Structures are given as structure tokens and as C-alpha cells.
């Protein structure tokens, strides 16, 4: 079934499920109320004037107990249905171009000094990150962001492509992972959890665990022989005194362990829910098999859960009387610390593996929703970029116009001229985002893409800063300096320059732009540069560049664009016509 139709079908099913379960919950709530009232009425009749036997309390009490018992299960089922409905509602919104502002925008991950993140709309409302991200943990979001901000190594990205291709059709898996547990994003502090696992061991004196066990056994035997009438309480008191001295000697260590374990145990349980689901999934892709093996930690986490749960039994006022002579809390605290010493150093890797899987799942959802997208061919060659029928992934597929772009050492530069709003900047962003997606391991919205491991240097958006005392022109040349430095570091560079040096006069712009582009090309870079200044197009011949342009049509006061790239230099401008169309010129 086509992805949008599948999403719509499942959304309708879960919408009906939510409505049905809400009606059921309402009925059960009413039943509990009526049964409670009936129980109160029978109790009044049986215990007051004694019109009925007290045995008449049993039926309504049993019914009420049953209704109360099934409530948590029914409530969990309702919440699961609500989360599934939300999952498909957001998925359908992504495909129906209603997703902007609904997802995680990654603003906390944004680096304003990154060489292309702001220029290519990687983060923020309506960004590439918001379109892609389906991660439920902070580490999943950070992993996806890292892949989008830094091109991966060839072998790693090839492995990601295979993993994404295998995960793409597994919609049931993505649904299950999206609804497990509570709101993991807000409930899980993955960095604090990893730090808890990696901190130095809490030191108990040698043999402390054995001494605690022997003292607990001695207390149990002493109490048992007294209860059987075979001895006095004096042996038990002697053991209790020794236990008190023992507990005082390790009190600080016990407090350190018990005071820090409850939150990590609760957070690890959230990870365990994800791990349990992944462990039940079979994979054929080597990268996914390795990843699942890294995640085989569910049983270990459940062991910690049980230890913490048993430790907390001592908080029960009735059981506390028994727990004290058994050294219950010290024994389980030492067992918990032993677990942390053994498994704690692996927590960071478990979290990292969860993050990698979530990032792969985000790319897989994108691949599933864009069935026409292709996995690019990753080249180990000189700088090269060749795209056929390339479109911008943030533009709806039914609106996006495809264009071909090819850059290589023989033709390392395209100079793009064209009128306002004709599509120059959009093409640069489409090229840049295709490189970002390709070296993250995702498919791209093109018929074909072949490219080497390119780093992007983009100058499409430069703003002045009153706080930093920087003009727009100074902000632009600062960004251009970082692009030149990247090319000079010996890394393959794809530069994307929009309206180069537009903050200065045409004479300086012509000289400065040519010098800058020539310097980038001499360092082996390839790229695209847009311009309104047609004088800049004259440098194409001397730089082995190609002139291309976007055109427009202006008739009867209306302007239209077809966003199709054409060879050569644009022959007309629409600036004055646009000014007339809004009433600035007569």
C-alpha cells in the first residue's frame, strides 16, 4: 500500500480504537461508581438496622475489586492507543505537508557557527531535522544531528544505507518503539545516567557482603530458636548489637548507593522497554545485527530493577521490623553496587546504541515516506557531484521541480544567474541537503546521485549582529574565511555561495568574488555561485565554469516561474516589474 494510504488507514483504525476504549473507560468508571454506591448501601443496611446479612457485602465488594483490578490494564491499553494515533497523525502530517512546527526542531543542538547548518535549514521550525527526527531520546536526537552535521566515513555510511533500507518497510516496529513506556524524551537524562554508571566504585571493606549475610542468618536463627522456645532473646540482642555496629561502619557507603540508584533504575527501565522490543526483531543486515548485539542488556537491567524493588520493601512499615535484623537495605545496597561496578561502564554504550538505532529509524521513516528517493552512489574519487532530477526534500513532491547538476574537476563551477524568486537559493539548498543526506546514510530526492565525500561550505544567509558589533558584510566575509580554511585543510569541499559579497559595491564585488572563487578552485574545491551581477558571469571562461540561469515570465502584471535550470546567462531582470507590482513604482 502507498505510504500515505497506509498511514491514513492505520490512523483511522487507531482513532476508532481510542474512541471505543474511551467509551469503555467511561462505562467502567460509571460501573465503579454505581457498585461503590451499592456497596455503601448494603453496608449501611447490613451494619446498621441489620436488614441484611453482612454476607451481602461480598458480591458488590468482589465486583468493585474486579473493576478496580482491571482499570490499570485498560488504562494502559487506552494510552497505547492514544500514542499510536498520535504517531500516525504526525506521520500523515509529514506526508501531507502539515508537519512544520509539530516535531522536534533540534534548536538545542544548533551551533550558530557551523559552516552550513543555518544556511541549509538543518535545525529550526520547518527544518530538515524536524522532518526527519522520530527519536524519543535525547541521545537519538544528538546522534541524528551529528550525522547531519558531519559526513560519515565511506564504510560506515554504506552500512547505514543497508540498515536504513532494511528498516524502511518495518512500520510495525517503528510504531511499537514509538508507544513504549512514558514520555522518554522528558523522563530520560541519558548523560546523567551514563555518568552514574561510569563513576568510581563505592568501596566497602573486604568481606562486607559475606559478613552482612552471616549476621542476617545469625539473627534469623536466634529469632527462630527464641520463637520455638528453645532459648532466650539474649543471643538475638547480641547479634543485633553487632549488626548495629556493622551498619554504622558502612552507613555512608550505603547512603551513597541508595541515594543515587532510584532515578537511574527508573530511566534504565525505559531503555529496557526499547531493548526488549529490539531483541525480538530479526535482522539480516550486518550493521543491525551488530547493533542489536550491543543492545542485549534487557535481562541485566531487569536484574537491577528487581534489586531496587526488593530494597524498597524495607520502606513498608510492617516489613521494616523484619528487614532491620536481616540487614536488608545494606545487603541489597551492596548487591546494587556490585551490579553497577559490573554493568555500569556498559550503560553509555547501551545508550549510544539506542541513539544509533533511533537515528536509523528516523532515516528509515524518511525512506519509507519517499519511495521514489534513491540511495546515492558514494564515490572514493576526486571531488565530484552528479545529480539527475534533483529536488528539495522540504518542498512537497507534487510541487518540487527537478533539475540536473554536475560538478567535477573538468567543470568545477556553475555560475547561476536569474531573476528574483526564480529558484537560485533553493537549488543551492537542494544540492547541499542532498550531500548532507547522502553522507548521513539516507536516500535523496533525486533520480540518481553520485558524489564523493564532500564537505559543505555554504554562505546563503549572513546576518548582522548588534551584540557582536558585526555588519552583514563582515558576517559574510567571516563565513567565507571559514569556507576557504576548510578547502585549505585538504578536505574535499563543495561550496555554495549565494549572491556573493552583495554587501559591497559592484566594482569591489567583481574583483573580490573572482579572487575568492579562483582561490577555492585552486584548492581543489567544486561548487555553485549565484549572482544578480551579470558582470560576475564573465569569469566563467577563465575558470572553466559553466553559466546557467533561471528565467521568468511577466505578462499583464503577473509574474510566473517554472524553476527550471537553463544553459547560459539570464537575459532580463524582474526587479523593476516586481516593484511596480506592489505599487512602489508607477
Distance, CA of 440 to CA of 451 (rounded, Å):
13
Instruction: State the pLDDT at residue 405.
Output: 95
Distance, CA of 411 to CA of 80 (rounded, Å):
55
Query: CB–CB of 343/296 below 8 Å?
Result: no
Instruction: Please count the residues of the chain.
Output: 586
Instruction: State the pLDDT at residue 161.
Output: 96
What phi and psi values does residue 546 have, to the nearest 5 degrees? -120, 130
Distance, CA of 154 to CA of 160 (rounded, Å):
10
Nine-digit cell string for 275:
531493548
Distance, CA of 463 to CA of 192 (rounded, Å):
36
Nine-digit cell string for 402:
527537478
Distance of CA 475 to the CA centre of its chain: 31
Instruction: State the pLDDT at residue 446.
Output: 95
Place of cell 547512603: 255
Residue 222: C-alpha distances to residues 230, 233, 236 (Å) = 10, 7, 5
Distance, CA of 441 to CA of 367 (rounded, Å):
11
Q: Burial, 244: exposed, middle or buried (Cβ in 10 Å; 0-12, 13-18, 19+)? A: exposed
Instruction: State the pLDDT at residue 582.
Output: 52
Bridge pairing between strands 545-550 and 413-418: parallel
Query: CB–CB of 549/543 below 8 Å?
Result: no
Nine-digit cell string for 94:
509529514
Q: What angle do CA 571, 572, 575 make, to 5 degrees?
A: 155
Helix (H, G, I), strand (E, B) or coil at 261: helix
Q: Burial, 25: exposed, middle or buried (Cβ in 10 Å; 0-12, 13-18, 19+)? A: middle
Element (H, E) at 404: strand 403-407
Query: CB–CB of 146/123 below 8 Å?
Result: no
Closest CA to 100 of 87, 109, 90: 90
Predicted confidence pLDDT, tens digits, the chain (586 residues): 799 899 999 999 999 999 998 888 888 888 778 777 776 776 666 665 555 555 666 777 777 777 777 777 888 888 888 889 989 999 999 988 899 888 889 898 888 888 899 899 999 999 999 999 998 888 889 999 999 999 999 999 999 999 999 999 999 999 988 887 655 555 567 788 888 888 888 888 888 889 888 888 988 888 888 777 777 778 888 888 888 888 888 889 888 888 888 878 877 877 787 777 877 888 999 999 888 888 777 778 888 888 888 888 888 777 778 888 888 888 888 988 888 888 888 888 888 888 899 999 999 999 999 999 999 999 998 899 999 999 999 998 888 899 999 999 989 999 888 877 778 889 999 999 999 999 999 999 999 999 999 999 888 865 544 444 455 666 777 778 878 887 777 789 999 988 776 656 666 677 777 888 888 888 889 999 988 767 677 777 777 888 898 887 766 666 777 888 888 887 666 554 555 555 545 5
Query: CB–CB of 345/193 below 8 Å?
Result: no
Instruction: Pinpoint the alpha helices (H) of 55-207.
Output: 58-95, 128-132, 138-149, 154-167, 171-179, 184-187, 190-198
Instruction: State the pLDDT at residue 574.
Output: 57
Q: What angle do CA 154, 459, 516 make, to 5 degrees?
A: 95
Instruction: State the pLDDT at residue 443.
Output: 97
Q: Which residues contact residue 211 at a Cβ distance below 8 angstroms, ignoring those fewer than 6 apart?
A: 246
Query: CB–CB of 14/85 below 8 Å?
Result: yes
Q: Burial, 518: exposed, middle or buried (Cβ in 10 Å; 0-12, 13-18, 19+)? A: middle
Amino acid at each position: 500500500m502507498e505510504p500515505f494510504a497506509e498511514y491514513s488507514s492505520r490512523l483511522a483504525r487507531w482513532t476508532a480504537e481510542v474512541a471505543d476504549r474511551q467509551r469503555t473507560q467511561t462505562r467502567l468508571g460509571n460501573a465503579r461508581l454505581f457498585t461503590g454506591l451499592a456497596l455503601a448501601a448494603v453496608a449501611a443496611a447490613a451494619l446498621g438496622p441489620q436488614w441484611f446479612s453482612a454476607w451481602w457485602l461480598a458480591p458488590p465488594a468482589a465486583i468493585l475489586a474486579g473493576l478496580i483490578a482491571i482499570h490499570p490494564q485498560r488504562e494502559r491499553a487506552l494510552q497505547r492507543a492514544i500514542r499510536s494515533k498520535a504517531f500516525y497523525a504526525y506521520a500523515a502530517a509529514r506526508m501531507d505537508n502539515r508537519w512544520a512546527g509539530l516535531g522536534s526542531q533540534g534548536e538545542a543542538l544548533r551551533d550558530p557557527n557551523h559552516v552550513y547548518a543555518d544556511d541549509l535549514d538543518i535545525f529550526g521550525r520547518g527544518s530538515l531535522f524536524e522532518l526527519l527526527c522520530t527519536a524519543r531520546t535525547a541521545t537519538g536526537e544528538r546522534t541524528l544531528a551529528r550525522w547531519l552535521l558531519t559526513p560519515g566515513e565511506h564504510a560506515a555510511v554504506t552500512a547505514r544505507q543497508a540498515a536504513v533500507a532494511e528498516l524502511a518497510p518495518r512500520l510495525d516496529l517503528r510504531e511499537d518503539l514509538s508507544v513504549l513506556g512514558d514520555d522518554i524524551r522528558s523522563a530520560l537524562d541519558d548523560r546523567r545516567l551514563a555518568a552514574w554508571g561510569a563513576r568510581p566504585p563505592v568501596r566497602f571493606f573486604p568481606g562486607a557482603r559475606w559478613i552482612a549475610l552471616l549476621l542476617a542468618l545469625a539473627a534469623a536463627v536466634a529469632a527462630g530458636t527464641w520463637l520455638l522456645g528453645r532459648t532466650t532473646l539474649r543471643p538475638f540482642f547480641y547479634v543485633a548489637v553487632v549488626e548495629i555496629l556493622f551498619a554504622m561502619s558502612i552507613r555512608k557507603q550505603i547512603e551513597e548507593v541508595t541515594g543515587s540508584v532510584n532515578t537511574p533504575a527508573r530511566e534504565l527501565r525505559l531503555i529496557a522497554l526499547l531493548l526488549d522490543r529490539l531483541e525480538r526483531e530479526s535482522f539480516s543486515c550486518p550493521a543491525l545485527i551488530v547493533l542489536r548485539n550491543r543492545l542485549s542488556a534487557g535481562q541485566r537491567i531487569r536484574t537491577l530493577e528487581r534489586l531496587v524493588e526488593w530494597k524498597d520493601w524495607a520502606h513498608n512499615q510492617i516489613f521494616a521490623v523484619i528487614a532491620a535484623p536481616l540487614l536488608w537495605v545494606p545487603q541489597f545496597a551492596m548487591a546494587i553496587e556490585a551490579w553497577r561496578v559490573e554493568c555500569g561502564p556498559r550503560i553509555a554504550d547501551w545508550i549510544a546504541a539506542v541513539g544509533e538505532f533511533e537515528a536509523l529509524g528516523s532515516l528509515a521513516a524518511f525512506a519509507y515516506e519517499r519511495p521514489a528517493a534513491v540511495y546515492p552512489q558514494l564515490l572514493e574519487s576526486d571531488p565530484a557531484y552528479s545529480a539527475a532530477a534533483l529536488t528539495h526534500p522540504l518542498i512537497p513532491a507534487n510541487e518540487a521541480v527537478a533539475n540536473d547538476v554536475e560538478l567535477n574537476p573538468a567543470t568545477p563551477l556553475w555560475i547561476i544567474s536569474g531573476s528574483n524568486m526564480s529558484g537560485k537559493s533553493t537549488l543551492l539548498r537542494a544540492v547541499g541537503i542532498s550531500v548532507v543526506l547522502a553522507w548521513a546514510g539516507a536516500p535523496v530526492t533525486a533520480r540518481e546521485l553520485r558524489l564523493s565525500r564532500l564537505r559543505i561550505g555554504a554562505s546563503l544567509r549572513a546576518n548582522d549582529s548588534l551584540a557582536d558589533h558585526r555588519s552583514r558584510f563582515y558576517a559574510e566575509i567571516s563565513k567565507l574565511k571559514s569556507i576557504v580554511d576548510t578547502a585549505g585543510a585538504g578536505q574535499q569541499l563543495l561550496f555554495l555561495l549565494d549572491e556573493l559579497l552583495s554587501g559591497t559595491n559592484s566594482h569591489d564585488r567583481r574583483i573580490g568574488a573572482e579572487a575568492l572563487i579562483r582561490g577555492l578552485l585552486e584548492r581543489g574545491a567544486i561548487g555553485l555561485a549565484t549572482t544578480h551581477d551579470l558582470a560576475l558571469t564573465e569569469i566563467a571562461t577563465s575558470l572553466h565554469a559553466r553559466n546557467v540561469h533561471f528565467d521568468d515570465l511577466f505578462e499583464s502584471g503577473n509574474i510566473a516561474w517554472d524553476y527550471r535550470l537553463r544553459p547560459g546567462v539570464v537575459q532580463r531582470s524582474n526587479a523593476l516589474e516586481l516593484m511596480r507590482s506592489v505599487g512602489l513604482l508607477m
